[in-house]
Amino acid sequence: MLGYAKLEDAWQLAIKEEKIIYQWNDDAREEEEVSEESYRPLLKASRDVRLRALEQLPQLLDALKREGERVIKTIARAREAAKAL
């Protein structure tokens, strides 16, 4: 999964890799799903992973735009509230 995260002390495009492990729970007497997530900079990923990440870029840009618009509206409301004080 492609995202934007602070890794190695810098904001950058990053990929999230998730590994799902199935473990036996003796107490519950059933198998449990345990996931492990790891993140790494996109630039340090293999060429194949970088090419697959391109397919997710439009969705990431849309999500970043929506988040930016949400933050701008929040700031505008806070300014109006501050002026009213």
**pLDDT digit string (tens) for 27-63?**
877 888 888 889 999 999 999 999 999 999 999 999 9
Residue written as token pair 């697959």:
52
| 3-state secondary structure at position 7 | strand
| 3-state secondary structure at position 78 | helix
Put simply, whether the predicted model's pTM sits higher than 0.75 gets the answer: no
Q: Which two tokens stand for residue 16?
A: 């999230």
**pLDDT digit string (tens) for 72-84?**
999 999 999 999 9
